[in-house]
Structure 1
Amino acid sequence: MIPGDMLEVNQKLKWALDNGIDADEQSVINNAVLEGTQYFVDEALEGSYWTVKWDPQHQNIDIYGTTGTVVGQIKPLTATLEQDFRQDSQGLFLRIEKEVAVVVRNN
């Protein structure tokens, strides 16, 4: 389950802690943003051909094509993607979906 809002983040955090998984709210949000981006990439390509990873500064999400080079990047509108999620998770995921579609179309 990819949390889509703060209620689901808290549910996933509780589940993780109840199952002995080391997690906090920040890590659950960051994983949700990364996993959500990977989901949109997979959907746009109709398969798992590209990979998404946090950039070295853990600020942006890099989209890697089949050759292993960065073909696109998801950047925050605020200070961080975590903050974007906290302010408007649905808006963030809609923006990511649109940005992924542009990256796929251009590559």
Structure 2
Amino acid sequence: MQNLIPGDMLEVNQKLKWELDTGMTADESSVIRDAVLAGTQYFVDEALEGSYWTVKWDANQQNIDIYGLDATVVGAIKPTGESLEADFRQNSQGLFMRIEKEVAVVVRNN
């Protein structure tokens, strides 16, 4: 369960319960933010066929910045709505499909 990247709200609630049961401090929003970040990192690693680039939340935790080998931002994943968390809550599968496509463009252009 620790490595599960929740793909929908049912899985978010399952992971949240697991985290709380194991003594971690978490809430629904933190589990969603972690899922979106981990999902983005997964798509970056898949596109590059290895773990060469890193993804991190920007300073305002609104966008996910994609860092290349030289630690400069080579791209960003931005919400279409109020936030990436809100995008996940509205349509998690659609969000992950969009992230996968945007990551492919960033990789191709860099």
TM-score when normalising by structure 2:
0.97
Match of 2:102 among 69, 77, 99: 99
Residues 1:21 and 2:45 aligned together: no
| Alpha-carbon distance in 2 for matches of 1:58, 1:105 | 25
- How many residues align? The count is 107
1:1-107 superposed matches below 5 A: 1-107=4-110
Q: Which sections of structure 2, spanning at least 5 residues, go unmatched?
A: none
| % same residue | 79
Q: Which sections of structure 1, spanning at least 5 residues, go unmatched?
A: none
| Alpha-carbon distance in 1 for matches of 2:21, 2:100 | 32
Per-residue deviation, 1:27? 0.1
Per-residue deviation, 1:98? 0.1
Q: How large is the Cα RMSD of the aligned pairs? A: 0.2
| Alpha-carbon distance in 2 for matches of 1:98, 1:29 | 20
The one-letter code matched in structure 2 to 1:101 is A
* Poorly superposed stretches of 4+, deviation over 3 Å: none
